[in-house]
Amino acid sequence: MSINLPLSRVVATWAGALCAVSVSIAFGQQAAQPVIVSDIGDIQPADATKFYKKPGYSPYAGKHFPERPLFGDEHVHTGWSVDAGMSGATLSPADAVRFARGEELMSTSGQPVRLSRPLDWVAVTDHSDGMGTVAGIREGNVEMMHDATLKRWHDMMHAGPEESRKATMELVAAQSNKRLPPAITDPKYAKSYWEQNTAIMEKYNEPGRFTAFIAYEWTSNAGGGDNLHRNVIYRDGKKLADQALPMTTFQSENPEDLWKWMDNWEKKTGGKLLAIPHNGNLSNGRMFELQMFLGGPMTKDWAQQRQRWEPLFEAIQMKGQSESHPSLSTTDEFAVGYELWDRGNLVQQPKKPGMIEHEYARQALKEGLNVERKLGANPFKFGMAAGTDTHNGLTAAEEDNFFAKFVSAEPRPDRWDENAMKFGDRVVKGWEMTAAGYTGVWATENTRAAIWDAMKRRETYATSGPRMIVRFFGGYDFVPFDARTRNPAIIGYTKGIPMGGDLKKAPQGKAPTFLVAALKDPLSGNLDRIQVIKGWLDRSGKLQEKIFNVAWGDADKRAVGPDGKLPPVGNTVDLKTASWTNTIGDAELITVWKDPEFDAAVKAFYYARVLEIPTPRWTAYDAVYFKVKMDPKVPMITQERAFTSPIWYTP
Amino acid sequence: MRRLLREPLLHFFLMGTVMFGVYGWLHRGSMSSANEILVTRGQVQNLRLQFERVWQRPATKQELQGLVDNWVKEEIFYREGTAMGLDRDDPVVRRRIGQKLEFILESATPPVPTDAELQAWLDAHPHDYRIEPTYSLRQVYFDPARHGARLEADIAAARRTLESGKAVAGDVTMLPPTMEAVSAIEMTRVFGNEFGEGLRLLPLNSWQGPVRSGYGLHLVELTANEAGRHATLADVRAQVERDLSRARAEEASAAFYDKLRANYAVRIEGDSAVVDPAAKPAN
């Protein structure tokens, strides 16, 4: 028996030939599990007692907690987005969903492409601006209502599902008999893009197997380029989604108006919505500004609204990461030079001093504690998400399979040196694009409702692309022995609360303990370390943060020094072949960590960050495949990572 | 050409043009002249309805006035801009108009396929509708880093123990020790691609392996499996209907383009690297 583990990964072929997953269809997984209903306020994370009662003999009996994170992309544009279409993208929302489901497609630039393995869910978020609301029969276009037949169909379509179905059947019949009212071929009478979009998502949404969310992006560029974009995600299906057209920035650029629109929609339909902001890094200080959009001081109501409607923040995507900035987190060696787009806003108007303080998730989480102290509500109580923001319909976030943001940057020898963005002399280069990311969601099943509910309770984490499994539980009673479990979820949900949740006031003399575990992506690099990042508001009212190394690979050879730093894990990347070996780091890490500096009187939050060992960045795969030599300043090696939603402590 | 004349879409377009002409003639009194902007009652009503569709409430008087003012401004800019030819050679406008035409084609509801047509599609694409095999298994994990040179010997010893009916813990891992009736694709998601492949040929009810995964090596006992199979129409009706309709829409769209394309003679000047693949001798 010869055992030679295939730990080094060969150079990928762009055609995605790596993928040996056969795409076929699985059935009968539609578990009829009741959804956790919660009020529309601040939803508390899943309560362990709901999942797990008194322990029986079998540790697996009665398990109803989320067993596997469901990976997806909450940020995908297709040719239907005006800017994507303009830049040449021809793939449609249906294509984007098929790609996310694991099908092989031809990219707009004519290259076959496929994911290494299917995602579990996707939200196609074409821009609502200019989506083209071609008035249709349903919308009751007045000019069209001059036609008696069309008027009748319109009325039927609003008279309940049965009548509506009849109208559609009549329409279909009229079409096949060539007796359609001539006016109907007028573009104005076509179905709206929105209804077409929701129809596509309905067709590809297969509960239990693959979730296709109905979604759109509201693209507010305040002041002409300060990125305040939000992805709006629907929990419900077409029937409710069609009851209103998406909000556009033609109506308003003010996020408060988006929340109003969401509120109106929920009241009218009984459905549920949430919004995920992204690219704080390109907002020139506005994503997490400490005032309202129009300039007034924050109010408690405003803070509550923001927390209610925006439970997640997209912390990494193709236009860089917004988790942490080295100028704000001065002790964070992993923020230095890591996928930073920090020179300007979306149109690269240069930043001024003081802007970066209001752009990054970690700083905002800290500021939120301070706002809560002053107003009694925390506007920045959000969890972590990630998406690609691809504009070519291809959610390809893998380093060895990076199809980039725009069609023009699909794999080509020169893409690294071209301009990803250019506004006058202000340029972002192609190599600066980030091959990221996906959101891992701890949902109880693969349905719109279950994934949405997990997003709402912030039981999510962001990854830069790999699909590592990360568990993070907080409580007061975890003990080191708990880390010897084979299933941290059982102990985690029983003795604590998961990521995204709140720790109750500390019992006398106790400090928070955390059960944290990570399992590598079977296709990606080993794990370097797990860190817990703590932010707090100290007794003097100052915001603080500290990074704790809590578990690491090669523990027999590495130890944390007196300065709290852990020596680097090493590097096995071979740039000549764009490969690495999993001979350093560990396949999984698990530990119980107790906050050694806990002060029961101060507000704090904790989140976990998991780092992989160094692996080739997409630029390295490009250099090998296209045989190009890149400028020495281009990063060729990356440390992929995941960051979880925080757990808050509020005394 | 004769076939093109029978093309229903062309008829629609022609009828549309005729209708528009007739409508214009009938309403010639109310048509606005070059420097007049008539905001028709219908247009106002459209703006009102558009607002309602977004905001789920009627526009206030003030808001409606704002909508109309904005529409007028847009109309003036639009007219002035088009008079200056700003719409020509604008990539956004070109693409948008083209996209709209495509969109209209695609949104034309195709006839619902018959059962026979669905069955024929399924028969022609059996591999797209395979029902995945499922497996139930127990596995014992070996982390190569923890065993070093003893790896092979340790696995062999563990296997003998398992074969004698005793339990072996293997290395501690978060990977599930048992899986019940899990599809091959789900198996792949948990253990990686190689593992899923490795399961395919294993016999039932005996300890086999080691099987490789993205984590290391595993001894595996398959306790049940259900072979994959081709789906019947009843299994996958909705998917087949979706895919067939999609294929038809693509065909129709391509055919429509071909017909339009045949009406044009394209000449490409002065660059031998670019040719017109559709160029045909004039007839």
Cβ burial of A416 (10 Å; 0-12, 13-18, 19+) is buried
The pLDDT value recorded for residue B281 is 46
Looking at residue B197, its amino acid is: E
Task: Tell whether B230 is within 8 A of chain A (Cβ).
Answer: no
The per-residue pLDDT of chain A, averaged, comes to: 85
Q: Whole-prediction pTM value?
A: 0.81
User: B166: which residues sit within 8 A by CB, 6+ positions away?
Assistant: none
Task: Tell whether A331 is within 8 A of chain B (Cβ).
Answer: no
Within 10 angstroms of residue B219's Cβ, the number of other Cβ atoms is: 23
Position A306 pLDDT exceeds 80: yes
Structure tokens at A124: 């196609």
Residue A225 contacts residue A346 (beta carbons within 8 Å): yes
The larger pLDDT score, comparing residue A86 to residue B186, is at B186
The phi, psi pair for A84, rounded to 5°, reads -70, -45
Number of residues assigned to chain A:
651
Task: Tell whether A555 is within 8 A of chain B (Cβ).
Answer: no
- Strand bridging mode A641-644 / A604-612: antiparallel
Do residue B144 and residue A3 have CB atoms under 8 angstroms apart? yes
Q: What residues of chain B, 146 to 185, have a C-beta less than 8 Å from chain A?
A: 151-152, 156, 172-178, 183-185
Nearest CA in chain B to A588: B173
pLDDT band with cut points at 50, 70 and 90 for residue A80: confident
| Angle CA A368–A370–A374, to nearest 5 | 115
pLDDT band with cut points at 50, 70 and 90 for residue A320: very high
The ipTM value here is 0.73
- Quick: pLDDT tens for A479-509: 999 998 878 898 999 999 999 999 999 999 9
Shortest Cα distance, chain B CAs vs residue A290, angstroms: 28
- CATH fold, domain B133-227, is Chitinase A; domain 3 (3.10.50)
- Quick: pLDDT tens for A604-641: 999 999 999 999 999 999 999 999 999 999 999 999 99
DSSP state, residue A183: G
Closest C-alpha among B179, B184, B215 to residue B199: B184
Position A595 pLDDT exceeds 90: yes
Shortest Cα distance, chain A CAs vs residue B165, angstroms: 20
The pLDDT value recorded for residue A49 is 45
User: A622: which residues sit within 8 A by CB, 6+ positions away?
Assistant: A411, A413, A415, A416, A628, A630
Question: Which of chain B's residues have a Cβ under 8 Å away from the Cβ of A175?
Answer: 108-109, 111
Where does residue B267 fall: left (phi above 0), alpha (psi -120 to 50 degrees), or beta otherwise? beta
DSSP state, residue A185: G
- Quick: pLDDT tens for A249-262: 878 899 999 999 99
Closest C-alpha among B225, B228, B53 to residue B132: B228
User: B12: which residues sit within 8 A by CB, 6+ positions away?
Assistant: A180, A182, A185
Residue A464 contacts residue A642 (beta carbons within 8 Å): yes
Q: Which residues are registered as beta bridge partners of A72?
A: A121, A439
- Quick: pLDDT tens for A209-258: 999 999 999 988 888 789 999 999 999 999 999 988 888 887 889 999 99
Shortest Cα distance, chain B CAs vs residue A21, angstroms: 6
- The CA distances from residue A122 to A71, A111, A118, A201, in Å, are 9, 22, 10, 10
Task: Determine the angle formed by the axes of helices A255-269 and B41-55, rounding to 10 degrees.
Answer: 90
The pLDDT value recorded for residue A72 is 98
Do residue A488 and residue B151 have CB atoms under 8 angstroms apart? no
Do residue A196 and residue B107 have CB atoms under 8 angstroms apart? yes
Element (H, E) at A122: strand A121-124
d(CA A568, CA A583): 14
d(CA A646, CA A628): 42
The phi, psi pair for A492, rounded to 5°, reads -60, -50
Closest C-alpha among A70, A124, A116 to residue A460: A70
- Quick: pLDDT tens for A398-424: 999 999 988 888 999 999 999 888 778
Structure tokens at A140: 């009751």
Reduced to 3 states (helix: H, G, I; strand: E, B; else coil), residue A141 is coil
Looking at residue A327, its amino acid is: S
Q: What residues of chain B, 244 to 283, have a C-beta less than 8 Å from chain A?
A: 246
The whole-number mean pLDDT for each consecutive block of 10 residues of chain B, a chain of 283 residues, reads 51 52 49 74 80 85 93 92 88 79 66 90 93 92 90 95 91 89 88 86 91 93 91 93 89 85 87 60 43
- Helix residue spans in A193-272 (DSSP H): 193-204, 238-241, 255-269
The pLDDT value recorded for residue A187 is 39
Do residue B212 and residue A6 have CB atoms under 8 angstroms apart? yes
d(CA B171, CA B210): 14
Residue A18 contacts residue A12 (beta carbons within 8 Å): yes
Closest C-alpha among A282, A158, A261, A169 to residue A218: A261
Structure tokens at B55: 């905001």
Task: Tell whether B120 is within 8 A of chain A (Cβ).
Answer: no
